Amino acid sequence: MSKTRAIIITGNGTNCEIEAAHACRLGGFDEAVIAHIADILSGDIRLDDFHFLNLTGGFLDGDDLGSAKAQANRLKYAAVSGSGEKLVEQFSRFIADGKLILGVCNGFQLMTKMGMLPGFDGNYLTQTATLTYNDCGRFQDRWCYLKCDPDSPSVFTSGIEKGIYLPVRHGEGKFLCSDDAILGRIEEEHLAVLKYSGPEYAEATMEFPANPNGSINAIAGVCDPTGRIMGLMPHPEAFVHYTHHPRWTRENLPEEGDGLILYKNAAKYAKENL
């Protein structure tokens, strides 16, 4: 069996790439490569050589034009040097080949503005949703309870019975759709993978601060209909070990943090299917 390889794109204001690479290795990937976007645009690194693409948090291009919008335009329209190929063609081929993409925070913002999510009817390049300014009007840095939809097709959340506990840190995390029909399909097809909730994961909530941004229907994470492409505002790479938990010195916690399951599921899928 060939080695499973994850790629984490960095540059132009991303962060968390080291944490994401560590999470990929802990999750079971044989290799996790941090690649600057310039190396991909130059043709030195190709997405075709990997199985799992990570789009991490940060403040791409200083959030000019709105969070991740400048990078979304760059990835959709920039050409790969010397190849006669647009970079977006590599993204489209990556998806068509059945591979995995996870966007976290700024990465989720990037995916929605490229049109990758919700990705209805195989259309991954037409924007139908966005992430915008928190209702509270300020940056939020806190831990949140996230209710998981057990009927979601998401590869990443497979096996999560009730929910997970992860940190958020964003100023533009409010998920919105272009119209009610898009939101309706997201809900009907169980693509709203994670929703902000209370501690028992019983009900989704619109109440601040449990819902830190006012996201419509309390949506914290969305996948496409295949379940292989997912974005979420909370940071799974920031909780892969119990010592990352804010109460690790006061509670008896399992060694693995809640976020690690997403990377373990991704590695398992890659080993079995790619």
**Among this protein's residues, is 105 annotated catalytic?**
yes
**Among this protein's residues, is 144 annotated catalytic?**
no
Q: What are phi and psi of 204, to 5 degrees?
A: -65, 150
- The catalytically annotated residue of 148, 237, 244, 245 is 237
Alpha-carbon distance 243 to 75, whole Å? 36
- The catalytically annotated residue of 17, 19, 51, 105 is 105
* Contact criterion met (CB below 8 Å) for 174 and 139: no
**Among this protein's residues, is 190 annotated catalytic?**
no
- The catalytically annotated residue of 170, 235, 244, 245 is 235
Q: Which residues are catalytic?
A: 105, 235, 237
